[in-house]
Structures are given as structure tokens and as C-alpha cells.
Structure 1
Amino acid sequence: MIPTPDLAHLTKQDYDVVYEPAEDTFILLDALEADAEVLRAIKTPICLEIGSGSGCVSAFLGVILGADAVYLCTDINPHAALCTLRTGAQNKVALSPVIASLASPFAQRLRRKIDVLVFNPPYVPTSADEVLDAQDAGGIAGAWAGGKDGMRVTNVLLGMLDDLLAPEGRFYLVALKQNDIPGITRRLREEQRMDCKIVLQRRAGREHLHVLCITRL
């Protein structure tokens, strides 16, 4: 069993402004661990976590893949970028956080070169105004406010996926049942010739969490 990254360096004050790892984080860790051997078969992978928050997920991925991988992270929250950097140092994983929306800094240079893409998105259904305000503010609300069906931010990334994912790349996405997983699957297959499988699901209070693994057909 791969241990959860050490987050002892993060304080209550950090978690006032950065999303604290919770059940949605841990189900993503479990999905990555279940696929550890498949991921280790990728030679010198380029990894990108969108919305890295505390840096917990990327640090965990670093334990799976080791020092030969490249670990890029983006977050709209400057505090999250700093926490991600500190979490990498705490766990001896060379994380490279960038303050940015989605994959915008890498869209051209790393076109179809991302081997492992990870996103625990803002998936909670909210009003359109709420998600726009959260994204503009670049604060902790950007970690959960998802707009209509909780898909406002995720839909933007799905539209970029064909330009990001390497030929044998794998995209791990956290989703709620309310996010219309059959609709996500159908859209990816019809518009981008991507396969979408539920690799793990779990109930956490009122939420029915899923981890989807998306690959090219």
C-alpha cells in the first residue's frame, strides 16, 4: 500500500485558503494506486495535474512514478501553487506548480505529449455567476463551484483533451453522478474518439464519487 503523502507542513491557515484533501482526493489516490503498474510502464512520463491544491495528488503520483517523470501542476489559486511546491519538497518529489487556468501554459509546447493527466475538478452544481466569480477570484471557491451540472470548468478541459493527451496517455477525472457520466462518455467517444471507463466509485455522505479513466480509442 502506498502511503498518503506527508502534509504535516500544512496548517489550518493554509486550509482556510486551499482545498484540504477529502474523500474526493482519496478516491483519486486509490485509483492511481490501482493503476500503478500500468503507469510505471510509461517511459519518462510527462504528468500534469490541473487544480493541484495542496499538492497531495501529484506528490502521490511522484511516489508511484519516481524521479524520471516530469510533474507539472496548475492552479488558479496562488496559495495552492505555494502549498503544492512545499508538499513536493516535504515528500521529496520535484513538483513544478504554475499559477494558471487549466492547461493554458502547456497547450502548444506539450501538444499531445501529456502521458498522465489528473483533474479533481470543481464539480459541485452552482449558479453560472458563482462559478465565474470563483474562477475570477482565484480563491478556494474555485476548487468546488462547478456551475450548471457541476461541469462548467470540466467541459472546457474536455474540449482541449485531444490536443493534450499523448497517444497512449491516460486522463483520470473525478466526477459526481450528477455530472452526467453517460453524457461525458458519449461526448468523448463521438467528438474526440476517446474511451471513458469508471475505474472506481464510492459513496461519501450524500456524494456518489467516481473516478473516470479516459484514453484514446
Structure 2
Amino acid sequence: MYPTPLYAPAGHGAFTDVYEPAEDSFLLMDALEKDAERLKGSRPSVCLEVGSGSGVISAFLASVVGPGALYLCTDVNPAAAQCTLQTARCNHLQLQPVITDLVQCLLPRLNGKVDVLVFNPPYVVTPSDEVNENQKRSVMLHSQNHGLFYLVTVSENHPIVDVLRDSGLNGELCLTRQAGHERLSILRFSKSSLSTTGSQEPS
């Protein structure tokens, strides 16, 4: 079992405008823990979190995968970048914040070079432009290393599996949990034809 990392006080003080970890964050960490052996076995070189906020997700991923990977954390909010740095220091980890809108400044340099991609957007029904943004992110995945993409959604977002299949990604439901009036899900996309035991198709 991997403990929740210490994290900077998101939502308070200097980090008032930084998203504080909530149910969606903890579900995503549970999904990464569930896939711990798969993640470690893939020996990723580059891990990218889009919209890192407090940095707790990347810190957790780093605790699972280990120090051999580069951990990039993007956020458009400079306070989130500082918060991520503080979280890294709290856990004696090396995280690399990048201030940018989604992955804008990383393309096309990182196309096909990211081994693990993590994104926790605001969990609202995905409009067509958000689907297009996920397609842009998906091209960054490293196909030869069976790149993995973890996406937080609500049940209404499951059609995204069909859309991203056209981009060459296999999607499956990794984990799901009720949170208030919404059912949160973690979708796992891979450029590998292999699937993880215990996974299921979104319904």
C-alpha cells in the first residue's frame, strides 16, 4: 500500500486559487495504486500530469514508479506550479512544473515520448472540443512502450472511449466510485493491445 503523499496547503493562503485534492483526486490515486505493478513493469521514462494543481497526483505516481522517470506537471496557474514544487519538497521528490495551458508548449516536442499521461479535468460532461483536446494529448503517448493515459470522467463521459479508439487508443474502465450525486470513473487508455486483468468496458 502506498500512503497519500504530503501536499502543500492547496485552497488556502498563497494557494487559495489552487485546486484542493478531493474525491476525484483520491480515486485517481487508487487507480494508480491498482495498476502499480503494470506501471513499474513498464519502466516509464517520461510521466506527464496535465493540470497538476497541488502536485499530489504526480507525487503519488512518483512514489509508485520511482526516481528513474522524469515527472512533468503542467498547469496554467503559476500558483499551482509553486504548490507542486512545495509538494515535491515535502516528499523529497523531483517534480518539474511547467506553466502552460494544458500541453500547449510541449507540443510537438513530446509527441510519442510520454509513457504515462494523467489528466483530471473538471468532471463535467465532455463537449466536442474537450474530446479534441484529449486527442491532442493522446498523440504524446509512447506507442513502443505501451503508453498509458489515465483520465478522470463522470459516467456521461464514457463515449470518449469510442472517440479515442479512432486515435489508436484502447480504452477501458479502471475504477469507479460514487461521489455525491455523480459517479466518478477512471478510464485507462493504452496503445498496447494488452489489457489488465480485472478491467471492464465502460457501460
TM-score tier, shorter chain, comes to 0.7 to 0.9
**1:205 paired residue number:** 180
The structural deviation recorded for 1:66 is 1.2
Change (3 A) 1:205 1:73: same
* Deviates further, 47-56 or 4-13: 4-13
Change (3 A) 1:158 1:10: closer
Change (3 A) 1:91 1:65: same
After TM superposition, the score normalised by the length of structure 2 is 0.87
| Structure 2 residue corresponding to 1:175, chosen from 138, 146, 153 | 153
| SS in structure 2 of the partner of residue 31 of structure 1 | helix
Change (3 A) 1:153 1:116: farther
Q: 1:122 aligned to 2:122?
A: yes
**1:187 paired residue number:** 163
**2:16 paired residue number:** 16
Question: Which runs of 5 or more structure 2 residues have no equivalent in the other structure?
Answer: 194-203
Distance 1:114 1:101 in 2: 17
Change (3 A) 1:153 1:79: farther
Distance 2:127 2:173 in 1: 17
Distance 2:8 2:81 in 1: 17
Distance 1:20 1:153 in 2: 25
| Structure 1 residue corresponding to 2:140, chosen from 143, 146, 164 | 164
Cα deviation, 1:111-143, whole Å, max 9, x if unaligned, reads: 10100000001223xxxxxxxxxxxxxxxxxxx
Larger helix share, 1 or 2? 1
Cα deviation, 1:132-184, whole Å, max 9, x if unaligned, reads: xxxxxxxxxxxxxxxxx3446632332214420111100000001132x0x21
After TM superposition, the score normalised by the length of structure 1 is 0.82
Change (3 A) 1:207 1:89: same
Q: 1:154 aligned to 2:169?
A: no
Contact 2:113 2:140 in 1 (8 A): yes
Question: Which runs of 5 or more structure 1 residues have no equivalent in the other structure?
Answer: 125-148
**1:140 paired residue number:** none
Contact 1:195 1:214 in 2 (8 A): yes
Cα deviation, 1:52-104, whole Å, max 9, x if unaligned, reads: 00000000011011111100010011111110111011111100001101112
Contact 2:54 2:84 in 1 (8 A): yes
Give the paired residue count.
190
Coordinate RMSD, CA, aligned: 1.7
The structural deviation recorded for 1:44 is 4.4
Distance 1:49 1:153 in 2: 20
| SS in structure 1 of the partner of residue 133 of structure 2 | helix
The structural deviation recorded for 1:13 is 1.8
Distance 2:113 2:153 in 1: 24
- Aligned residue type for 1:174: V
* Runs of 4+ residues over 6 Å off in structure 1: none
Distance 1:26 1:153 in 2: 26
